[in-house]
Amino acid sequence: MTLEQLYEVAAARGIEIDDVPMRELRAVSFSGGCIAIDRRKFASDAEYKCALAHEIGHCETGAFYNIHARKGVKCCCEYRANRRAAELLVPLEELKRALRYGLLPFHTLARIFDVTLEFIVMVFEIYEHEMCAPIHRGVTWLTACRSARRIY
């Protein structure tokens, strides 16, 4: 998904994105469907796109918390936002299709999906966790995850 397509997804869901200079934060989302993001604080378009997808994930899943929230609540909200960002930028079926042609190093997958290396690592952790559930367990997927991690 391109950055332009990501903006289109946000617009279609009524999520407003504002480029706002901020002192400490790089990006923040609000429960009213608004994202404030400081584009100057990102080293690359891929890094910006991953952060924007994450914030869209907060808005779409309603995964919001404040500074007083317990650690468990924060972790749950962050996981939900990360999971949605993974679905947007590296859909599971597209990742499986890429892996069908052979095991690729994480940096190659990051380049294919135009995301950061850290984002690809997170995507594998999310999908591996879900695919390890008894109902989804599949030897091929687990082997691919473990092999890709080794060549990271």
What's the whole-number mean pLDDT along residues 62-79?
Answer: 93
Does the domain made of 1-89 have the CATH classification 3.30.2010?
Answer: yes
H or E element at residue 59: helix 45-61
Contact 120, 90 (CB under 8 A): yes
Say if residue 151's pLDDT is above 90. Answer: no
pLDDT bucket at 104, cuts 50 / 70 / 90? confident
Enumerate residues 6+ apart whose C-beta is below 8 A from 15.
Answer: 33, 34, 35, 56, 59, 60
Average pLDDT over residues 130-137: 55
